[in-house]
Amino acid sequence: MFRLSRIRRIAKWTGAVLCVVLLAEWAVNTRYAVRYASGRLAVSVGWGHTFFTYRRIGPYRDAPGFTFLRVGPSPPLELPHFVQLPSVTVGGLPNWIPSVFLALPTAYLFYFFRDRRYPRGHCQRCGYDLTGNVSGVCPECGRAT
């Protein structure tokens, strides 16, 4: 079973990596887009947005799977963020929204839960100096050494 500190460490670094990925996306998003299509549904990331496209008539016209697109500086649709046509529904979410919801908890974890590594010879839970301790148990917090 994972300890809470380990879960926090994983969450923290996963958040940091995803923030870097979103920053990289922001840097190239007027030149490149990525689309993943499967059946009638496609998810595209580009122009600082994530677009969800659902086609009601026929499957997605392009090849399923991942497609990398070289794009121009303007999105294919003006951005009211939601378009409903007889054949297709497109919804767009500005990427700063998931970025904020990702960056805030990540920053919180980095600020409040630093990975404390106590020096060798100290209790790794509470930092108590165990020099000369032969009992095998930390006298301060009871952790087995």
Q: Which stretch binds Zn ion (CB under 5 A): 21-29, 55-63, 73-81, 132-140?
A: 132-140
- Work out which of 10, 24, 85, 126 binds Zn ion, going by CB under 5 A: 126
Q: Take residue 14 and report the two structure tokens written for it.
A: 């996963």
- Sign of CA pseudo-dihedral 16, 19, 24, 27: negative
Burial tier of 130 (Cβ tally within 10 Å: 0-12, 13-18, 19+): buried
Smallest distance, Å, CB 143 to Zn ion?
5
Smallest distance, Å, CB 131 to Zn ion?
13
Which of 91/127 has CB closer to Zn ion?
127
**Cβ-based neighbours of 127, under 8 Å, separated by 6 or more:** 116, 118
d(C-alpha 90, C-alpha 43), whole Å:
10
Per-residue contact flags (x/-) with Zn ion for residues 86 to 125, judged by CB under 5 A: -------------------------------------x-x
Asked if 129 is part of the footprint of Zn ion (rule: CB under 5 A), the reply reads no
